[in-house]
Structure 1
């Protein structure tokens, strides 16, 4: 299974924003420079995170973004579910497009369902706060003072 870059970048935006000092705002330009992601693409991600009420966007000359919730309230499983739109690991996961002739007898679908459940169980155990236990190291790597 592979997550989209969109989801990866959304998680990076959250980590970056959560790594800022109390009261500091993050901005699209600095996130773009740190992670080498186009500002245009980040704009779409920031818009989506704002719609999901995970970040607040502050407009204006000294505007930027900040977390809308405490990091311990942002569940990783929820973020990934919100950013991804397709968890059909195989053709047979989607009844509308399944033409596999062995579906009625195939055991693979059950095994992969179990694996997907385990994936979600692990992600659901963690919050953004769990990703910040080495906050100073992250700040150093991202060039935050």
Structure 2
């Protein structure tokens, strides 16, 4: 299984935010820290806000802040949110792709189970478990 860069960067931002849960983080600061596009991080932050993971605030003391304690945010739930719309394989997509073995395929159900187990396994850990260390939070 391969996660998209969207999810990878989202998890990195959340790991940083979990190191100081009450602090508001600007996308500019996070983009600079991780050497990523601010525009791309803004889109990720919007998805995290729509999913109830972060709250965004405007103004001088604005930025994004975690909505819940990091120990209450399950990693599988974050991955599911950020990978929304990304099919594991073509036939899982909205139009089912152009699969010539649809109807007799024995792989699809196994892949669905594996995907569910992957998310379930990630949900055994929380954002608090992967928070970046204090010293790295500068």
CA distance in 2: counterparts of 1:50 and 1:95, whole angstroms:
24
Looking at both structures, which has the greater relative contact order when contacts are Cα pairs under 8 Å and sequence separation is at least 6? 2
Cα shift readout 1:23-77 (whole Å, capped 9, x = no counterpart)? 4322212211111111111112222222222112222112222111101111111
Kept in 1, the 8 Å contact 2:6–2:82? The answer is yes
Gaps in structure 1 of 5+ consecutive residues? none
Alignment of 1:130-141 (within 5 A): 130-132=129-131, 135-136=132-133, 139-141=134-136
CA distance in 1, matches of 2:93, 2:57: 40
List alignment gaps of at least 5 residues for structure 2: none
Larger Rg: 1
Higher helix share: 1
- Residue 141 (structure 1) shift: 3.6
| Superposition CA RMSD, Å | 2.3
TM-score, normalised via structure 1 length: 0.79
Distance in structure 2 (CA, Å) of the matches to 1:60 and 1:100: 50
Report the TM-score when normalising by structure 2. 0.82
Say if 1:18 and 1:66, in contact at 8 Å, map to a contact too. Answer: no
Where do 1:37-48 residues align within 5 Å?
37-48=36-47
Cα distance change, pair 106–74 in 1 and its aligned pair in 2 (3 A): same
Distance 1:130 1:110, change over 3 A: same
